[in-house]
Structure 1
Amino acid sequence: MSIFRILMKKKELIPLALIMTVAASGASSFAVYSLNKKSDVIIDRKRNPEPWENVDPTVPRKLITINQQWKPIEELQKVRRATR
């Protein structure tokens, strides 16, 4: 049987099918968005093995950032300069 035939016979399933369709499309679109736009989500580690080096620390990456100040840690900066 076709899905549409089942929905026409049992009309109480129409809201459930609509909610499930919206939820599945929202989840898949967020996954595609995260893969394309987020810097902390990587697929190919061979081309860019250290993606955290390209992250701008002044741009907030969280959904909500409350009173967060970014300051460089001197010890880490010295180690970074020494290893380059």
Structure 2
Amino acid sequence: MNMSFFQILRAKKELIPLVGVVSFAALGATSFSIYSLLSKSDVIINKSGNPEPWEAIDPTQPQKLLTINQKWKPIEELEKVKKLTK
């Protein structure tokens, strides 16, 4: 009963596709988490460094993985409020 992982796969070949699919899914989830952590502005690690990180987002740069027909115009009322509060 003390068989290694590869010995089990060699003995039961029907488990090889299952192990491949689960490994691929785990690798994809891990890589997307790292991608989001390093490149997305809405994912925050250090909350004390910048309490309002959404103020530094460039509105002309798309934030989604796939953006179709994004058009951005500043809202005049919101710009006035921002100028008054700063």
TM-score (norm 2): 0.89
Q: How many angstroms apart in 2 are the aligned matches of 1:7 and 1:65?
A: 42
Q: How many angstroms apart in 2 are the aligned matches of 1:66 and 1:13?
A: 41
1:10 aligns with 2:34: no
Alignment partner, residue 81 of structure 1: 83
Structure 2: segments with no counterpart, 5+ residues: none
Select which of 43, 50, 55 maps to 1:41: 43
**Aligned ranges 1:50-65 → 2 under 5 Å:** 50-65=52-67
Q: Deviations over 1:26-78 (max 9, x none)?
A: 11011011001101111211001111111111111123333332111111111
Alignment partner, residue 66 of structure 1: 68
Query: Equivalent pairs: percent with the same residue?
Result: 63
1:20 aligns with 2:22: yes
Select which of 31, 34, 38 maps to 2:33: 31
Structure 1: segments with no counterpart, 5+ residues: none
The change in CA–CA distance for 1:68 and 1:49 in structure 2 (over 3 A counts) is same
